[in-house]
Amino acid sequence: GRLPYQPRFTVLKAILSRILYLIAPSLSSHPPSRRPVRLAFSTMKLAKSYYGDSGKDANMKPSNLSSTLEKLYAWEKKLYKEVKDEERLRVIYEREFKRLKVLDNRGAESSKIDAAQASVRKLLTKLNVCIKAIDAISSRIHKLRDEELQPQVTALIHGLIRMWKSMLKCHQKQFQAIMESKTRSLKANTGFRRDSSLRATVELEMELLTWCSRFSDWINTQKCFIDSLNGWLLNCLLYEPEETLDGRVPFSPGRIGAPPIFVICHDWSEGVKRISEEGVANALHNFASSLRQLWERQDEEQRQRLKAEYISKDFERRLRTLRMERGRMQQDQDAMSDKTGVSIVSSESGVSPLDDLKVDLDSISTRFDEERAQHKEAVKSMHHAASNSLQGGLIPIFEALENFTSKALKAYEQVRIQNAAQSSEGGKK
């Protein structure tokens, strides 16, 4: 069923009470020795040092969230050590106490009983110091948690709310801008700067993948932070799920009277679990994939352009050769005609020796026309891919970012900071 909020050190206090109850009858039957008193005086300094640290830090100015978490971590390490020491001493104490009871029941010699009793008193004093130290450390942790951690977490959430509001406005304007540019004709660069265009496309693809990775890391880091913080707080609660006829009642720190920081972090943790960055990540990956397709189209266009340029240069070279050969043969024919008065043909069959060159030129011209047509088609395909990549890729990205930031803002605004702050102020009064 539902249990009221109880700090962890109350359990340790209960253990100490049980120990005192067990040992009281035995101790009352024998006069106390002076040695345990001297031991108590020396060992109590340890517990006072913990209380002293708590008092000295009371008037210190609040630090930042990072240093507060570091202080909490340091105090938790001290608390862990003291609890382990208490557990170890308790096991030894129970063993020695049983031994004392056996000696007492058997009517053992007084010296043996006194020695056993002294050992038990010594252990009890150490246990008492451990419990006091645990109590002091726990109080210090609670003081840090309520007076430093809570206002710092509240300020952080307020800052994140302002951030999400600013980001939402920004992404809304970006989405509106890209939607208004939908009618514009976007074309990829062609010509002599194709290498730089290819590099720019590849760099943009890499930047998008980096953006996606860092965005996911950023969101997951926030989720891990609040999950760890809320998990640490939950470990401080003695809570048993409440069962009703309708099933298990959802956990609520406020219902069991936990301090405000528990309510804040629980709401924060549940809120971030409801938002997912998967839509933004998918949009970024899809845009990166479309850029890869654009890069392939650009590469194909460059290959077709170079091939067409090569054929064009080969055609011009052969054409110049044909013209030079035709001019030379015409000069030779004119010279022979002047001497003999007879027109000279190039071969017995009457076919001109330049006919082979003309056939080659016709073939090259046909190939050039084909390659030029393919290059035009490649350019058209590249422009189409560029237009689809930029608009078809950016629109889903900014739409996903707008939806994500809107949900994130709503989740943070639903954290009950105001109610927690009022509850905290009411508790101080």
| Same domain membership, residue 311 and residue 283 | yes
**Is residue 173 situated within a structural domain?**
no
Domain with 83, as residue range(s), is: 9-164
Q: Which of 132, 164, 196 is the last residue of a domain?
A: 164
The confidence score (pLDDT) of residue 199 equals: 81
Lowest-confidence segment of 94-108, 281-295, 358-372 by average pLDDT: 358-372
SS3 state of residue 4: coil
Asked whether the beta carbons of 97 and 120 are under 8 A apart, the reply is yes
Distances from the Cα of 205 to the Cα of 148, 195, 295, 381, angstroms: 44, 16, 9, 19
Res. 213: pLDDT tops 90: yes
Res. 75: pLDDT tops 90: yes
| Same domain membership, residue 239 and residue 108 | no
* Confidence category of residue 385, pLDDT binned at 50, 70, 90: low
**Is residue 288 situated within a structural domain?**
yes
**Is residue 171 situated within a structural domain?**
no
| Same domain membership, residue 282 and residue 233 | yes
Q: Which token pair is 293?
A: 């397709």
Lowest-confidence segment of 53-62, 307-316, 397-406 by average pLDDT: 53-62
**Is residue 117 situated within a structural domain?**
yes
**Is residue 227 situated within a structural domain?**
yes
Top pLDDT among 62 and 241 is at: 241
Query: Model confidence over 343-384: pLDDT tens digits?
Result: 544 555 555 555 656 666 666 667 766 667 666 666 666 666
| Same domain membership, residue 209 and residue 147 | no
> How many CB atoms sit inside 10 A of residue 385's CB?
22
| Same domain membership, residue 191 and residue 156 | no
Res. 406: pLDDT tops 80: yes
Res. 67: pLDDT tops 70: yes
CATH number where 220 lies: 1.20.1270.60
Mean pLDDT, residues 46-62: 44
The confidence score (pLDDT) of residue 355 equals: 60
**Is residue 179 situated within a structural domain?**
no
The confidence score (pLDDT) of residue 358 equals: 63
The confidence score (pLDDT) of residue 58 equals: 41
Per the structure, the count of domains in the chain is 2
Q: Which of 116, 134, 164 is the last residue of a domain?
A: 164
Mean pLDDT, residues 308-322: 70
The phi and psi torsions of 47 (rounded to 5 degrees) equal -65, -40
| Same domain membership, residue 54 and residue 20 | yes
**Is residue 169 situated within a structural domain?**
no
The phi and psi torsions of 245 (rounded to 5 degrees) equal -65, -30
Top pLDDT among 320 and 115 is at: 115
* Confidence category of residue 192, pLDDT binned at 50, 70, 90: very low
| Same domain membership, residue 210 and residue 68 | no
| Same domain membership, residue 294 and residue 200 | yes
| Same domain membership, residue 210 and residue 141 | no
The confidence score (pLDDT) of residue 44 equals: 42
The confidence score (pLDDT) of residue 148 equals: 92
| Same domain membership, residue 379 and residue 331 | yes
The confidence score (pLDDT) of residue 52 equals: 44
Separation of alpha carbons 26 and 32, rounded Å: 11
In which element (H, E) is residue 102 found?
A: helix 65-106
Global pTM value: 0.65
Q: Which token pair is 149?
A: 């951690």
**Is residue 382 situated within a structural domain?**
yes
Q: Which of 164, 197, 217 is the last residue of a domain?
A: 164
* Confidence category of residue 290, pLDDT binned at 50, 70, 90: confident
| Same domain membership, residue 160 and residue 188 | no
| Same domain membership, residue 263 and residue 389 | yes
